[in-house]
Structure 1
Amino acid sequence: MQAFIKEPSKHSHAPDPDRLHIIRLKNEIKLRGTSSAEAPSTILFDVLRSTPLTAAFGLPTNDALLQTISRERPAIQLDHHVRLPLILRQTDRGESFILYEVDSMVIFTCDKNLSGLVFVPVGDVLKAYSSLVNDFDDEDYLLLDYFERV
């Protein structure tokens, strides 16, 4: 039996145990990026929490890791009429989110948002605003707060 032993070259490095953590982190974000609907930042920061601080110096930037997750995501497939899939055509409440669609243009909005575009005479603005506020859900108050400041 012959044994082959390779002598170390002039270009050799000491083993780096933290490199294993970096490889595991990259593999985990790629796996979760392809199989999960979570936001890329959620995936990244969840995986970073389980990575030892000693490996932090060898990690790529957060932007590079987020881009890695985005690259792993499957592209959104259009239907045979070259239209957006149903999941992108509706809001999370099931309302239609596409007002108008032709080959060269898509107008995104739902009926509730159109009610804010109605012309109201100057004397009735406060009354119209009050009725509009009652139609908004809790998460929409950031938009209303903006208009109250303006």
Structure 2
Amino acid sequence: MPTLRSASAALLCLAVAWIHVQDQGGFPGDKTPGYVGAGYYLLEALGLVAAVLVLLAGRRIPAAPAWLLAAGVGLGPLIGFVLSRGPGLPDYSDDKGNWTEPLGLVALAVEAALVLLALTALRTARGWSAAPAAGR
């Protein structure tokens, strides 16, 4: 049975993927240049994989790698948002200066929540906790 934390993280991973499918105009979408479109596809696939892995984390697979992937699914697009709207990306200026796009702001909130949740989970994942194990 998934925990509230893993179920929440799985939903956030799926939300990141869904938001990016919407942003690219559906699937297969149309984001240019090609590396931006490929990045969207990679993020969407990793969002689905991370959702499954965090649900299995600690039971069928080691927890830390699953939570690291989930953190990456949140952190990657956060960095992409800042770069695409700030200094810009090579051959991509569609979003430069567009800091208040509604879907982008929703994405930031979802991604930030996922990163915070994943970092909290990583802190308590077996072998990563700063607190001593019970009974020691």
TM-score range, shorter chain: under 0.3
- Greater Rg, structure 1 or structure 2? 1
Give the structure-1-normalised TM-score: 0.25
RCO greater where, 1 or 2, for CA within 8 Å and sep 6 or more?
A: 2
Higher helix share: 2
Higher strand share: 1
